[in-house]
C-alpha cells in the first residue's frame, strides 16, 4: 500500500456551501441524530434532548392528525394516562410538545427490531413466540391496571431489543380513533372494533391472540389485499384453525389461539391472566430465533431510501455515479432498508430532496456533492426526511484515490446507523492502489453503459481495465458481469464471453468469497447458458450476502415463475418493484405472472405504467401483443395493440405485431410469414432467448389451429433446454396439446429441470 493511498477520513464541522441549509432540530430543544421509523401516525426520530443532554425518541405526529375538534384535548388525556404506566415491557412516554405548529411525543429510546420485521423473516419457534406474547401481555396487563386499553396492538408496535420486549403507542390509537374514525389495524382488530362497539381489555386479548397466531403459523389470522374485506371477515366466520396451515401445531395450543380470538368477547378468556395461564403448558425452553433465509425477500415496508448521484463537475460525473451505486449496494445489504437503484431513478427530478422523496414515495433521500482534490476526493452527504424535510444525518469525507472504496464503506455504515439499520453487509474488498480503483470505476461505468458500445469496443475497455490488476476480485466481478451481457447479445458465438466470464467470476469468488457481486456475475453467466440450477446456487450465495441486491432478486423471481412457484416469485418481484418501480425485467415478469393467475387488471395496469426510457416501448408492446393471444378474440384488450409503425427491437417483432392485429380482428393472417421472420432466432446459441422465441411461435401456431407447427416449436424448445414448466402446464394456448400422446414425453425433461432448480434454490 502506498503512503499516499491512506484514508483521510471523516471531516467534521461546517456545511457544504453547495447544499442549501436544512432544519436538523425540532424546536430549540431536540437535535435530530437519526431516523427510527415511520408509520401511520408519524415519523420517529432519535434525538438529543439538549436541555438534559440525553437521547430520547421523538415521534413527530402526522400533520392534520389532531385537526378534528376536541381531538387535541382527548389526545392529551390519553398521553396523561399512558404516562402512568411503568413496566419494563412498556415504552415510557415523557411529554407532548409542539414546535412550528406540529405536535410531537417524546418517549424512552429503545433501539431494536420490530416484531413485524422479524416475522417477515419467517415464523418463530413455539417457545420464542409464547415468550414474546407473554411479555407483551405483561405490559398490556399493567396498562389495564391503570385503566388504559391499547386498541392497536400489532407486531409493528412491539420492539425486540436483546432480551427485552417493549410495547409502544399505548392509548394513542384510541385517541386518534375518535371523531368518527375506527381505531386499529384491520389485520388485528377485534370484531367489536369493526362494529364500532365498546372496547376493553378483551379487545387487546383478541389482538394478542392474532399476534401469536401469526408468530406460530407464519401468516396472519386474517389476510388479504382489501383492508375492508380483511376487517369484515371476522364478522362472518370464526378464526381459522391454525392446524389448517401448520398441521404440526399442538391441538391444545391451537384451541387457545381460537378461543383468544373468539368473535364474541364473552367466549374469550376472562382476562389476560387466564390467557397467560393457558399458554404456560405449551411454553418451551428459550430457543434461538429462527435463522433468516439466505435468499430472503427484501422487506417492502422497510425504510425506503433514494440515493441521488452527487453533484459534481461534468468530468467527474461517472465517478460520482459509481460512488452512488456502491453506496446503494452497501446500504441494500441490510434488511432494514429498501434502497432504490440508481438505474431506477427518473431522468428528471426536482431540485428539492424532500420533493424527490415525496414524488418517489421514499422515506429518506440522500444527496450530496463530490469534488476531486489532488490525489483524491471530498464527498459531502446528507439524508433528508421526505415527510417533513428535516436533515436526519450528514457527513463529510475525504480520501485519497486508493482509499475511496473504504470511504464509501465508512459513509454507508454511518448512514445506516443513523437510519436505525446497522449495516449487515460484509465489508468490501478494498483496493489499496490508485490505479486499481480507477480501473474499477471504469469497469463499473462500462457495466452500466455497455448497451451503448459495440462488442469489440466493450471488450477492449474491459481487457485494458483488468490488465491493471488481473487478480483483483472487484475487477474480476465486474468483468464477469460485462461478459455475461456480451454473451447474451452475441448473435452467433457467445462461447468466448461465457468462458472468460465464468473464469473471472470463479477467480473472484476464490479471492473474495464474501463479495456478492462475484456470485452475481457467476449467476448471470449460468443464466445466459440456461444452466439454471447453477444460476440458482450462485444467486443463493449472492443473496445470503446482500438480500437487497435487486439484480439478483429479479433473476431469482423470474426463475421461480418458470418452475411454477408463482407466489414466491411474485413476492420477490413486487419487492424489487417497490424498490425500483422502473425495473423493466421485474415488470415484464410480473405481467406474465399475473396473466397466469388470470389477474388481467393487474397485468394491464403494469403494461400501462411509465417506462424507464423510450427504448423499453418495444418490450412493452411485445408483451401487449403476446398476451392478446391468450385472451379470446371477443374479450376486451387492455392496452392498445401495437400499431403498424410501432417500434421494434428484434427481427420478427413487426411481423408478430401484424399477425396479432389480424388475428384479433379476425381478418387474414399469415403464420408462415411470421414463422419465416422469426426462424432466425431458432438458430441462436443464446438458449434463453431461443426458448422464448420458440414459445411465442408455438402460441401463434395454436392461435391459427396449426398444432403440428406448434408441436415442433415446443419440441425444438425442449431439445434446446426449455425449463418453463409453468408455461408447459398452464399456458392457455397449449391446452389442446396437453391431451396428445406426445405430450408426457415432452413434459418430462422440463419437469425434471424445474425440480433440479427447485432443489438448488432450497440449497441442495
Report the range of poorest mean pLDDT among 287-291, 400-404, 520-524.
287-291
Residue 397, φ and ψ in degrees, nearest 5: -130, 150
pLDDT at 179: 37
pLDDT at 759: 87
pLDDT at 763: 67
Is the pLDDT confidence value at 216 over 50?
A: yes
Place of cell 431494536: 112
539, 495, 497, 496: which is closest to 293 by C-alpha? Answer: 539
Tell me the pLDDT of the chain averaged across its residues. 82
Contact between 344 and 580 (Cβ < 8 Å):
yes
For residue 205 the three cell numbers come to: 386479548
Look at residue 239 and give its three-state secondary structure: coil
State yes or no: is 531 an active-site residue.
Answer: no
Any idea where the domains of the chain sit in the sequence? Answer: 3-14+297-418, 121-285, 530-761
Length of the chain: 764
pLDDT at 295: 40
Q: How confident is the model over 131-151, as a mean pLDDT?
A: 89
Proportion of the chain above pLDDT 70, given as a percent: 85
Q: In CATH terms, is domain 530-761 a member of 1.10.10?
A: no
Is the pLDDT confidence value at 77 over 60?
A: yes
pLDDT at 748: 96
Contact between 591 and 627 (Cβ < 8 Å):
yes
Q: How confident is the model over 546-554, as a mean pLDDT?
A: 85
Q: How confident is the model over 58-62, as a mean pLDDT?
A: 85
Is the pLDDT confidence value at 126 over 50?
A: yes
The pLDDT tens digits for 1-53 are: 343 334 444 444 445 656 666 768 888 899 999 888 877 778 889 999 999 99
Enter the CATH code of domain 3-14+297-418. Answer: 3.40.50.10070
pLDDT at 32: 92
Please enumerate in sequence order all residues whose Cβ is within 8 A of that of 287, keeping only pairs 6 or more positions apart, or say none: 125, 127, 128
Distance CA 222, CA 241 (A): 11
**Pairing between β-strand 303-307 and β-strand 364-373 as defined by DSSP bridges:** parallel
Distance CA 257, CA 166 (A): 22
pLDDT at 211: 94
Distance CA 147, CA 82 (A): 9
Distance CA 326, CA 515 (A): 13
Burial 138-158 (b: 16+ CB within 10 A, else e): bbbbbbbeeebbbbbbbbbbb
* Confidence (pTM): 0.75
DSSP-assigned states of every residue in 398-416? EEEGGGHHHHHHHHHHHHH
Proportion of the chain above pLDDT 90, given as a percent: 28
Highest mean pLDDT among 452-466, 542-556, 575-589, 748-762: 748-762
Centroid of chain to Cα 406: 26
Binned at pLDDT 50, 70 and 90, residue 289 comes out as: very low
H/E element, 436: helix 434-449
- State the catalytic residue, choosing from 5, 16, 128, 152: 152
pLDDT at 429: 55
CATH class of 121-285: mainly alpha
Binned at pLDDT 50, 70 and 90, residue 660 comes out as: confident
H/E element, 337: strand 337-340
pLDDT at 286: 40
Strand order in the sheet with 113-114: 113-114, 158-161, 164-167
DSSP-assigned states of every residue in 43-78? EEEEEEETTTTEEEEEEEEPTTTT-STTHHHHHHHH
Place of cell 415519523: 43
pLDDT at 12: 42
The pLDDT tens digits for 428-471 are: 555 568 888 888 888 888 887 776 677 788 888 888 888 999 99
108, 107, 73, 71: which is closest to 183 by C-alpha? Answer: 71
pLDDT at 755: 93
Report the range of poorest mean pLDDT among 470-479, 531-540, 582-591, 680-689.
680-689
Is the pLDDT confidence value at 649 over 80?
A: no
Q: Choose between 454 and 175: higher pLDDT.
A: 454
Amino acid at each position: 500500500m502506498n503512503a499516499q493511498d491512506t484514508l483521510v477520513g471523516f471531516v467534521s464541522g461546517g456545511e457544504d456551501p453547495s447544499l442549501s441549509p436544512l432544519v436538523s432540530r425540532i424546536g430549540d430543544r431536540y437535535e435530530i441524530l437519526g431516523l427510527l421509523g415511520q408509520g401511520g401516525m408519524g415519523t420517529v426520530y432519535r434525538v438529543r434532548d439538549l436541555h438534559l443532554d440525553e437521547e430520547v425518541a421523538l415521534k413527530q405526529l402526522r400533520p392534520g392528525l389532531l385537526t378534528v375538534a376536541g381531538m387535541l384535548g382527548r389526545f392529551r388525556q390519553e398521553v396523561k394516562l399512558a404516562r402512568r404506566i411503568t413496566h419494563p415491557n412498556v415504552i415510557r412516554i415523557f411529554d407532548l410538545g409542539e414546535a412550528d405548529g406540529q405536535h410531537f411525543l417524546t418517549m424512552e429510546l429503545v433501539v431494536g427490531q420490530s416484531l413485524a420485521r422479524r416475522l417477515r423473516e419467517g415464523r418463530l419457534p413455539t417457545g420464542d413466540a409464547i415468550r414474546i406474547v407473554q411479555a407483551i401481555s405483561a405490559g398490556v396487563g399493567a396498562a389495564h391496571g391503570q385503566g388504559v386499553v391499547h386498541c392497536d396492538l400489532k407486531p409493528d408496535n412491539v420492539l425486540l431489543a436483546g432480551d427485552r420486549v417493549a410495547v409502544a403507542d399505548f392509548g394513542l390509537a384510541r385517541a386518534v380513533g375518535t371523531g368518527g374514525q375506527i381505531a386499529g389495524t384491520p389485520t388485528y382488530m377485534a370484531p367489536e372494533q369493526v362494529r364500532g362497539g365498546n372496547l376493553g381489555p378483551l379487545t387487546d386479548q383478541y389482538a394478542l391472540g392474532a399476534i401469536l397466531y401469526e408468530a406460530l403459523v407464519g401468516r396472519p389470522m386474517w389476510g388479504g389485499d382489501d383492508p375492508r374485506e380483511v376487517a369484515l371477515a371476522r364478522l362472518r366466520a370464526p378464526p381459522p384453525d391454525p392446524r389448517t396451515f401448520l398441521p404440526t401445531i399442538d391441538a391444545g395450543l391451537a384451541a387457545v389461539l381460537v378461543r383468544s380470538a373468539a368473535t364474541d368477547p364473552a367466549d374469550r378468556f376472562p382476562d389476560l391472566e387466564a390467557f397467560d395461564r393457558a399458554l404456560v403448558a405449551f411454553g418451551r425452553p428459550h430457543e434461538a430465533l429462527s435463522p433468516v433465509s439466505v435468499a430472503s425477500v427484501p422487506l417492502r415496508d422497510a425504510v425506503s431510501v433514494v440515493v441521488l448521484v452527487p453533484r459534481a463537475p461534468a468530468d467527474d460525473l461517472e465517478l460520482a455515479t459509481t460512488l452512488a451505486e456502491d453506496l446503494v449496494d452497501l446500504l441494500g445489504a441490510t434488511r432494514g432498508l429498501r434502497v432504490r437503484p440508481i438505474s431506477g431513478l427518473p431522468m428528471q427530478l426536482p431540485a428539492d430532496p424532500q420533493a424527490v422523496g415525496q414524488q418517489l414515495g421514499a422515506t429518506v433521500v440522500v444527496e450530496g456533492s463530490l469534488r476531486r482534490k489532488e490525489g483524491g476526493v471530498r464527498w459531502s452527504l446528507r439524508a433528508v426526511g421526505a415527510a417533513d424535510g428535516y436533515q436526519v444525518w450528514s457527513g463529510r469525507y475525504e480520501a485519497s484515490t486508493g482509499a475511496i472504496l473504504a470511504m464509501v464503506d465508512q459513509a454507508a455504515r454511518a448512514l445506516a446507523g443513523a437510519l436505525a439499520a446497522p449495516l449487515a453487509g460484509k465489508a468490501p474488498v478494498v483496493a489499496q492502489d490508485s490505479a486499481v480503483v480507477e480501473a474499477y470505476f471504469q469497469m463499473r461505468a462500462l457495466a452500466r453503459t455497455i448497451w451503448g458500445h459495440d462488442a469489440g469496443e466493450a471488450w477492449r475497455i474491459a481487457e485494458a481495465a483488468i490488465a491493471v490488476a488481473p487478480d483483483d476480485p472487484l475487477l474480476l466481478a465486474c468483468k464477469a458481469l460485462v461478459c455475461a451481457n456480451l454473451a447474451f447479445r452475441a448473435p452467433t458465438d457467445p462461447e468466448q464471453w461465457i468462458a472468460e466470464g465464468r473464469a473471472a467470476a470463479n477467480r473472484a469468488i476464490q479471492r473474495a468469497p464474501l463479495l456478492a457481486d462475484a456470485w452475481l456475475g457467476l449467476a448471470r453467466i449460468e443464466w445466459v447458458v440456461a444452466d439454471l440450477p447453477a444460476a440458482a446456487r450462485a444467486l443463493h450465495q449472492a443473496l445470503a450476502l446482500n438480500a437487497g441486491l435487486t439484480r439478483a432478486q429479479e433473476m431469482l423471481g423470474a426463475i421461480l415463475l418458470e418452475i411454477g412457484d408463482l407466489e414466491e416469485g411474485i413476492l420477490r418481484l413486487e419487492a424489487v418493484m417497490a424498490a425500483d418501480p422502473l425495473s423493466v425485467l421485474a415488470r415484464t415478469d410480473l405481467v406474465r405472472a399475473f396473466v397466469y393467475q388470470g389477474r388481467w387488471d393487474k397485468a394491464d395496469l403494469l403494461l400501462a405504467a411509465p417506462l424507464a426510457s423510450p427504448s423499453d416501448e418495444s418490450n412493452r408492446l411485445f408483451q401487449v401483443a403476446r398476451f392478446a393471444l391468450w385472451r379470446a378474440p371477443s374479450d376486451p384488450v387492455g392496452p392498445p395493440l401495437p400499431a403498424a409503425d410501432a417500434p421494434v427491437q428484434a427481427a420478427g417483432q413487426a411481423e408478430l405485431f401484424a399477425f396479432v392485429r389480424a388475428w384479433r380482428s379476425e381478418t387474414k393472417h399469415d403464420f408462415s410469414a411470421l414463422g419465416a421472420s422469426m426462424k432466425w432466432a431458432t438458430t441462436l446459441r443464446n438458449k434463453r432467448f431461443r426458448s422464448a422465441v420458440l414459445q411465442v411461435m408455438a402460441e401463434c401456431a395454436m392461435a391459427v389451429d396449426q398444432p403440428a407447427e406448434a408441436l415442433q416449436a415446443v419440441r425444438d424448445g425442449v431439445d434446446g433446454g426449455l425449463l418453463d414448466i409453468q408455461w408447459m402446464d398452464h399456458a392457455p394456448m397449449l391446452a389442446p396439446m396437453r391431451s396428445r400422446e406426445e405430450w408426457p414425453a415432452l413434459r418430462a425433461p422440463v419437469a425434471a429441470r424445474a425440480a433440479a432448480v427447485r432443489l438448488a434454490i432450497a440449497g441442495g
